[in-house]
């Protein structure tokens, strides 16, 4: 249970404009999540929002962040490309990234996936059941066979993502759809987890099972390798061969 620095980004717009959302998340979803995470042993927690300079994601913040959580919905296009470049570079260099719910359409997730990240959706406060596929993954520890959410926005296939490195959750929706609702990828030296729950108008970030998954994911996403490793994120010229070459070369 080592130390880690977690930064939680939230566009923080619904909570300031919509009374229903404000009631559920008075200080914003980022603060609800942060309050929970601050109790985890070894976690240093920061928050960042769209309205802050550089959206709260200055170089020095990102450079000291082990894992970044991302929530956005109606203001994806207000995130500056320069900051997206910066976040992508840090992920490829080993920062973990956890993308929540409508963050599927964020610039940073689309950038890292290379696809549209489109999906089908419906907002009808329907029941969702997230089935666990692999109980032996760090992210699913402490769960039963499924998580049930009484009221959720529906997301349905086809979810336009690259095949995940591992699919961890599949959701069932009352209205008739299914969705790959929890999946992991690695990109460069970084680990990425997408987790579907989290609509602003439902108290999903008060759900302890959802928070449990997110906590597990933060621990999992922290870079654990050799940070000196070359060749990931750069192009290197190896002038001298490791072996002696034969004399048959062209010219």
Using the 8-state DSSP alphabet, how is residue 102 labeled? G
Return the DSSP state at 134. Answer: -
In angstroms, give the least distance from the CB of 10 to a copy of itself.
Answer: 21
Among 167, 207, 209, 212, binds a copy of itself (CB under 8 A): 167
Query: Helices 208-221 and 29-37 meet at what angle, rounded to 10?
Result: 70
Among 9, 43, 70, 185, binds a copy of itself (CB under 8 A): 185
Q: What letters, b where the CB count within 10 A reaches 16 and e where it falls short, cover 210-228?
A: bbbbbbbbbbbbbbeeeee
Q: List the structure tokens of 134.
A: 């692999």
SS3 39: coil
3-class state of residue 142 by DSSP? coil
Question: Binding segment for a copy of itself among 36-44, 60-68, 162-170, 204-212 (CB under 8 A)?
Answer: 162-170
Output phi, psi for 206, to 5 deg.
-100, -5
Phi, psi of 94 (to 5 degrees): 125, -5
The interface with a copy of itself within residues 118-147 (CB under 8 A) comprises 118-122, 124-127, 129, 131-138, 140-145
241 binds a copy of itself (CB under 8 A): yes
Binding mask 29-68 for a copy of itself (x = CB under 8 A): ----------------------------------------
Cα separation, 146 vs 133, whole angstroms:
9
If the CB atoms of residues 46 and 127 are measured against a copy of itself, the closer one turns out to be 127
Among 52, 75, 178, 211, binds a copy of itself (CB under 8 A): 178
Q: Read off φ and ψ for residue 87, nearest 5 degrees.
A: -65, -45
Residues 191 to 210 in contact with a copy of itself, rule: CB under 8 A: 191, 201-202
Q: Which is nearer to a copy of itself, 53 or 242 (CB)?
A: 242
Distance between CA 72 and CA 103 in Å, rounded? 5
Output 6 or 204, the one with its CB closest to a copy of itself.
Answer: 204
Q: Dihedral, CA atoms, 107, 108, 112, 115, nearest 10 degrees?
A: -20
Q: Which one of 19, 53, 60, 231 is in contact with a copy of itself (CB under 8 A)?
A: 231
Residue 32 Cβ, how far from a copy of itself at the closest point, in Å? 17
Of the candidates 157, 147, 133, 122, which has an alpha carbon nearest to the alpha carbon of residue 204? Answer: 147
Give how many residues touch a copy of itself by CB under 8 A.
92
- Asked if 70 touches a copy of itself (CB under 8 A), the answer is no
Q: Which of 53, 60, 82, 226 is in the footprint of a copy of itself by CB under 8 A?
A: 226
Question: Could you tell me the sign of the dihedral formed by the alpha carbons of 169, 174, 178, 179, in that order?
Answer: negative
| Shortest spacing between CB 52 and a copy of itself, in angstroms | 26
Q: Does 111 bind a copy of itself (CB under 8 A)?
A: yes
Among residues 92, 207, 211, 212, the one that binds a copy of itself under rule CB under 8 A: 92
């Amino acid at each position: 249970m080592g130390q880690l620095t977690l930064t939680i980004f939230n566009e923080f717009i619904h909570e300031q404009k919509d009374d229903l959302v404000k009631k559920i998340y008075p200080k914003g979803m980022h603060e609800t999540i942060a309050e929970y995470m601050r109790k985890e042993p070894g976690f240093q927690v920061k928050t960042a929002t769209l309205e802050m300079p550089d959206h709260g994601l200055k170089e020095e913040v990102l450079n000291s962040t082990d894992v970044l959580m991302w929530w956005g919905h109606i203001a994806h296009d207000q995130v500056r490309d320069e900051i997206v470049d910066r976040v992508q570079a840090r992920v490829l260099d080993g920062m973990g990234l956890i993308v929540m719910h409508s963050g599927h359409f964020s610039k940073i997730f689309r950038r890292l996936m290379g696809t549209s990240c489109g999906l089908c959706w419906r907002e009808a406060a329907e029941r969702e059941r997230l089935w666990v596929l692999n109980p032996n993954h760090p992210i699913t520890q402490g769960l039963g066979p499924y998580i049930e959410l009484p009221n959720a926005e529906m997301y349905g296939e086809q979810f336009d993502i690259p095949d995940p490195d591992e699919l961890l959750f599949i959701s069932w929706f009352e209205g008739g759809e299914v969705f790959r609702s929890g999946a992991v990828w690695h990109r460069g030296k970084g680990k990425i987890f997408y987790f579907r729950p989290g609509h602003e108008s439902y108290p999903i970030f008060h759900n302890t099972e959802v928070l449990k998954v997110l906590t597990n994911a933060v621990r999992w996403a922290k870079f654990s390798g050799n940070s000196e490793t070359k060749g990931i994120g750069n192009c290197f010229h190896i002038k001298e061969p490791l072996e002696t070459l034969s004399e048959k070369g062209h010219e």
